Structure 1
Amino acid sequence: MNPDLQGKAALVTGAARRVGAEIARRLHAAGADVVIHYRGSGADAAKLEEELSALRPRSAHRVKADLLAPIAPRALVEAALAQFGRLDILVNNASAFYPTPVGGIEATHWEELIGSNLRAPLFLAQEAAPHLAKQAGCIVNIVDIHAERPLKGYTVYSVAKAGLAGLTRSLALELAPSVRVNAVAPGAIAWPEDGQFEPAERARIVATTPLARVGEPEAIARAVHFLATAPFVTGQVLAVDGGRSVFL
């Protein structure tokens, strides 16, 4: 792979597993040093740190933080600076995802889903912005195709991701010209591990995806890498969904 991120440092939230881990691997393979944020997946984070450090010594560092805690954004940015001395890329990937049908929504659902999907990215971006500006850096937010058209039964999640798409565009204006801000909107990328979607629903999703399959985490990682290295792209939300948003 072309080492187009050589000498740069990236902070990826929710990076211990699944899509986040693949993003961390991709940026690392392109030459970046990587801060692996995690909350509960400590063993997975340690394994990923070991994997990446074996490829390039002292190039990966794991940091535990609860993104719902007000101190988390500053702590994460300070950890990245302490470890690598700079910050070039912030990837807001961490996300809570579960159904909240109207009639059963509780305040705790709102606080967690808005907190992880919208509030944390905002305050991480704000904390990181001065340091990203020094490096002409960038922010990549992981949104969702349902930011545009809500997912039935997932009201609060859909609202949170719609807010994150709006935040992406707003930050692109606020932080220009020093920092670029974009987002990736995944479609069906690896099914949730908790069985939220029944087999019939999974079949329906695949049937309404023009490429007729579920995507792999690598597809999102490739898109993040592209946006991290595209010098004249900002304020954009890139759908990576096998064409499914055409049907929504």
Structure 2
Amino acid sequence: MKTTSPTVLVTGAAKRIGKQTATLLHQNGYNIVVHCNHSTDEADAFVSELNAMRSNSAKRVKADITKLDELQSLADNATAAFGRIDMLVNNASSFYPTPVNDVNEDVWDDLMGTNLKAPFFLIKNLLPELTKNKGNVVNMVDIHADRPLKDYPVYCMAKAGLVMLTKSLSRELAPNIRVNGIAPGAILWHENDLSEQDKKQVLSEIGLARLGSPEDIAEAILYMSKATYVTGQILAVDGGRSINGGSKA
């Protein structure tokens, strides 16, 4: 199916920030390729919602982004969905604590795979489309790429690598493709439970004294989609927390 409307692939788009990002880009005229791995029911329901708003404007693709062959299939299937790809949002990510003594090769491969390897190879596999369409990439980084989060060393290393990937590829792929990153702060309390005391500590470190929302991240990504003179930049969306420091979430 060939379309003249711009098309975006959002990885991990069935839930949370990925879903909100896809929703906002859809509202701004994009066709959406919704990627998922395990969350197929949620992804299918979301695609139905988007298609109810605008007919034939969303499709679902499934892939394990830690596997190189599935990354190639993901790129191929995403491109085939609407006949073009104009934007890639590398949102999918594994996130869980890994104290040093608990790290093994499976943990390393998962965290490095989802947070660093997958973004690189997806960009590589989509180069023909992104180049042809003067496209752009937005990588979901993290404020903890600069200020490590205790007990999350492998995750923080992977996100630090993603920062360098963003900056390096912005040079390698210019002038045809823009590559930028969004570094969220405390947006939603993550699934790895924090104590009430820890939550209070996090809020005390945020200049705006509140959590952000998925909408805040989606708005930043929408901005990057339109910012045709911005590349190689990491935009912190954290309520000022990276200025004040912080270590819990």
Q: Secondary structure at the match of 1:71?
A: helix
Secondary structure at 2:32 match in 1: strand
Is the 8 Å Cα contact of residues 9 and 32 (structure 2) preserved in structure 1? yes
Provide the C-alpha distance between the structure 1 equivalents of 2:197 and 2:37, rounded to a whole number of angstroms.
32
Q: For structure 2, which runs of at least 5 residues remain unmatched after alignment?
A: none
How far apart, CA to CA, are the structure 2 residues paired with 1:105 and 1:139?
31
Q: Does 1:206 align with 2:208?
A: no
Identity of aligned residues (%): 49
Is the counterpart of residue 229 in structure 1 residue 231 in structure 2?
Answer: no
Which of 214, 219, 237 lines up with 1:217 in the alignment? Answer: 214
1:155 alignment partner in structure 2: 153
- 1:194 deviates by 4.2
What CA distance in whole angstroms lies between the structure 2 residues aligned with 1:128 and 1:68?
17
Task: Map residues 179-190 of structure 1 onto 2, 5 A cutoff.
Answer: 179-190=177-188
1:127 corresponds in structure 2 to 125
The match for 1:3 is none
Query: Residues 15-54 of structure 1 correspond to what in structure 2 (within 5 A)?
Result: 15-54=13-52
TM-score by length of 2: 0.95
Select 1:247's aligned residue among 241, 244, 247: 244
1:86 to 84, 87, 99: 84
Alignment-mate amino acid for residue 47 of structure 1: A
Distance 1:225 1:129 in 2: 21
- Runs of 4+ aligned structure 1 residues displaced above 3 Å come to none
Instruction: Tell me how far apart the structure 2 counterparts of residues 72 and 200 of structure 1 sit (CA, whole Å).
Output: 42
Q: Which residue of 2 aligns with 1:96?
A: 94
Calculate the TM-score normalised by the size of structure 1: 0.96
Conserved in 1, the CA contact under 8 Å of 2:96 and 2:192? no
Aligned to 1:138: 136
Per-residue CA deviations over 1:1-44 (Å, capped at 9, x if unaligned) read xxxxx810000000000000001001100000000000111111
